[in-house]
Structure 1
């Protein structure tokens, strides 16, 4: 699943922007890094569950960041509808 992110055109990386997309019903799939701090991911995770957005858990922030094509860790990422 993570491999798909590199080729994804409609990708939003970062919790603030990802949360905005989830709230606006524009998110298809939410990726959350398992090692991200809970206070950072709790709100977006709850919002995604309410909106029935698919949630995929990545092994680590480093792996999620790399899958998104960035050179640093990412707590969350969203594929848009």
Structure 2
């Protein structure tokens, strides 16, 4: 289930590398992970979220997550950032 916070925010990251950087900086509030993303791609992100106590929300598909982020391709992960 994709909430409106990600769709309406302009403070977000899209993609594994950008989300990983946001987690390392401590600026990620919530991370969104597509259920159909490959495990070896999202596993490091999920581990970081668990270690930092960041809420993870599942999204049905990569296409849905990409659309919510305003891009025309799928996205495996995205994050909502602090203000």
TM-score bucket of the superposed structures, by smaller chain: over 0.9
Q: Between Structure 1 and Structure 2, how many residues are aligned?
A: 81
Q: Which residue of 1 aligns with 2:53?
A: 52
TM-score by length of 2: 0.92
Correspondence list, 1:60-71, <5 A: 60-71=61-72
TM-score by length of 1: 0.94
Task: Provide the secondary structure at the position in 2 that maps to 1:19.
Answer: helix
Show CA shifts across 1:6-65 (max 9, x none). 210211001001011111111000000000001100001100111001100000000000
User: What do you get for the CA RMSD once the two structures are aligned?
Assistant: 1.0
Task: Provide the secondary structure at the position in 1 that maps to 2:45.
Answer: helix
CA contact (8 A) 1:2 1:58 kept: no
Unaligned runs of 5+ in 1: none
